[in-house]
A and B are shown apart, each in its own frame.
Chain A
Amino acid sequence: MQPVATTFFFYFLSGLTLASGVLVITRKNPVHSALALIFGLLAQAGLYLMLYAPFVAGVQIILYAGGIMVLFLFVIMLVNLERSQKEEQFNKQWLVGIVAAAALGVLFVLVYMKGADLFPVRMTLPTESNNTQEIGVMLYGQYMFAFEIASLLLLVAIIGAVVMAKKRI
């Protein structure tokens, strides 16, 4: 299947991601920030599709946009909000923030330009139709231990939340 208008979609999706990232931190209303984050995550799913990883894109939509963001919105809506809306949007240390961000940006650019041999070389790009199978084989084969530990962590978190909220219906 021939990819269609790759350049246009790449710039469109990454622009959407960047714009949503900017909106997340600049909105006063936390619900608007969460909404912007949702759009950013969906754009990221599109970017995964462009990297021939449809399974990761699907899981990104289900879990991130459809699950985690719902939890974010729950918390935002249950917390008393008037206080946060009256706060200052940017605090007084914006100069230090800009310097730190610039330093981080320079670090990223240096790594990209000089450190290309730091990353392991990929033998072959897995084909798009095998993406699900490849992920399954790797997740339950090579990275089985990490997978189980991650699920155990999630279980501990769930039990902790249930215990803390136990007395209320």
Chain B
Amino acid sequence: MGDQITKDPSTYLSHLELGEPDKTFLDSNELIINMGPQHPATHGVLRVILKLDGEKVLGTECVIGYLHRGVEKIAENRTYTMFNPYVDRMDYVAAVSNGLGYCEAVEKLLNIEAPPRAQYIRVILTELNRLASHQLWLGTHALDIGAMTPLFYTFRDREEILKIFEKYCGARLTTHSFRIGGCQYETYEGFERDVEKFLDFAPPKIDEYEELLTTNRIWLERTKGVGTISAADCKALGVTGPVLRASGVKWDLRKAQPYAAYSKFDFEIPTGQHGDTYDRYLVRMQEMRQSLRIIRQAVESIPEGPIMAKVPKVMKPPVGEIYHSIEAPKGELGYFIVSDGSTQPYRVRVRPPSFVNLQALDIMVRGQLVADVIAVIGTLDIVLGEVDR
């Protein structure tokens, strides 16, 4: 493993069936380029080896593992409650979703259900986090394509969400907001008021982002037709999330396998038609608006009651296994937990959406130009913490 990293990069690609460059009677310019782990546009430590014919991409290979921290192995040596903070660190941008998925998986294993008030709070925080994650995605994606300004706008607006998180659980990014069985903290004084103020503050901002980008001719040229993937390819690779929805498949786990309190809310699933970068952009913008809709419905009707179910002090789930998945901002986030009856899980396997979506990079960039590779990595919305765990 150690010496494979330093080997000649062309050996990485030799097992792939990549196209051959067009040999005209002038020498074709076949290159193997390494977009190394340190790169301003790979959203983390991702290494992409590209085989190019001139400027056209023939094939790619992603080398991952630079951020591997052995989270799943650590889970085997921690109790279920002790492992809860670790899941935030995987997809650190959307930490609340990670916590939601894990807590719900363990609750299913323990056969308990969080009380309704806790579920509403969970939905509100998760949707706020979806909005924050999409805002970060928009800022960095636009920056990669060259528009510098939306980054600052989205980060400023994201601050409001992070302020709410900080007031609620004390942390902005890796929130550890939920507990197995419900929520630890009661909503603070003024939580509903803050959320409602945010609900009035956010839609004009989203309109501002759309105004800057959606009809901008340069944005359209850079994103329309770039990185297309068909619905069949998505299903074959297991790609989920906005990428799948932009290819035309109306599949959202919040509607298909409702969890938390999502069945009580009325919202739509935006889909695209062509499966190119522009459609993914539109789908995520629409998802932001739908998130606001869900939050508004949730905040208006939070029930009273306890926020924590009756969980035993020492959690020893019965022997068995469970796979529970939720719709994280980036796709289907799944937890497969095997319990052997003791206080520590036997195996926790995380199905990160970015890891599976990253496989689609190869298909999406074949035949495109080098400058599009960066746009496509941005549009897949990967977080390396999740890919490598």
Contact = CB atoms under 8 A, between A and B. Distances in A.
Answer yes or no: A and B touching, Cβ < 8 Å: yes
Interface of A: 164-165, 167-169
B200 interface: no
Interface string B15-42: 0000000101010110000000000000
A169 B26 contact: no
Contacts of A167: 22, 24
Contacts of B29: 168
A165 B55 CA distance: 13
Nearest to A78: B29
B22 A169 contact: no
17 contacts: A164-B24, A164-B26, A165-B26, A167-B22, A167-B24, A168-B22, A168-B24, A168-B26, A168-B28, A168-B29, A168-B53, A168-B54, A168-B55, A169-B54, A169-B55, A169-B56, A169-B369
Contacts, number: 17
Contacts of B24: 164, 167-168
| Consensus secondary structure, chain A interface | loop
A165 B24 CA distance: 8
Nearest to A169: B55
B20 to A, nearest CB: 12
Given A164-B24, A165-B26, A168-B29, 5 more contacts: A164-B26, A168-B28, A168-B53, A168-B55, A169-B54
Contacts of A168: 22, 24, 26, 28-29, 53-55
A25 to B, nearest CB: 28
B116 to A, nearest CB: 58
Contacts of A164: 24, 26
A37 B28 CA distance: 31
B283 to A, nearest CB: 29
Interface string B274-292: 0000000000000000000
A164 B22 CA distance: 13
Contacts of A165: 26
A165 B53 CA distance: 13
Contacts of B55: 168-169
Closest 8 CB pairs of A and B: A169-B55, A168-B54, A167-B22, A169-B54, A167-B24, A169-B56, A169-B369, A164-B26
Nearest to A168: B54
B22 to A, nearest CB: 5
Contacts of A169: 54-56, 369
A46 B97 CA distance: 72
Interface string B149-161: 0000000000000
Nearest to A166: B24
A168 B24 CA distance: 9
